[in-house]
Structure 1
Amino acid sequence: MNEIVSKIKNFFMGNYKTMVIVGGIIIVCFLIWYVFSGRENVSSNGVSTNDIRTELSNAQDTKSDITDTASDISNTSTDIAETVGNLAESIDTATGASSKFDAIIDECTGIIDQIRKQPAGE
């Protein structure tokens, strides 16, 4: 038994530098594993990836709704502009008709005045 212990002791003493380098590499590997293996310690602020994915999806849907609403508003404003233009044309038409009506009334009044000025016996 002493022979085995003596051989192990001689092996370690003869290869001291190699054993220190290998031991150092093993320790560094364990340190790297310890630092990078604990991913559950990364802070998520209590929000899971699926919750964030859902929020992004909802934000995209809301953006789409806003775009559709803006398009509807644009179409409505175009329709209102066309209606105002049509109303302006209607007002012009009514004003023109009113002017013609006034001219017809003036002409009728002139005819009535001429009839009244004629002598009754003719």
Structure 2
Amino acid sequence: MSPASGRHHQRKALFGDRCACCPLRERCTTAEADRILTIRPHHDLMAAARRQAVTDPAWQADYRRWRPPVERGVAWIVARGNRRLRYLGTIKNDAWLPTRAAALNLRILIGLGLTRTNDTWAISPSSA
């Protein structure tokens, strides 16, 4: 195994000819060439986060609590043909996403009974 440096401070392990005669090759890779493992700069941090996700009950409870609303929000943003960007250029698209999110938030608030009375916005107590 010989290390090679790549872009963005990542490290690579090149296995060379050792891969060809390895009895576990079929389980390791389907590549015709040699196996190359890439170790990214945040590998240790990501591995620790994965271990925490498997072993920490508090992390799992938070994940179960927050994943559904986040997934639902993403689904709302990409619904009705909004999976692709509408405009050319980052300036217009950077303005579009917050506008789309604001419109979705307003739709949710109206569904909860948002009304305006005497220049004051409020959610009606019966629907909250």
- Report the TM-score, using the length of structure 2 for normalisation: 0.22
Query: Greater Rg, structure 1 or structure 2?
Result: 1
More helix by share: 1
Higher RCO (CA 8 Å, separation ≥ 6 residues)? 2
Question: 1 or 2, which has the higher strand percentage?
Answer: 2
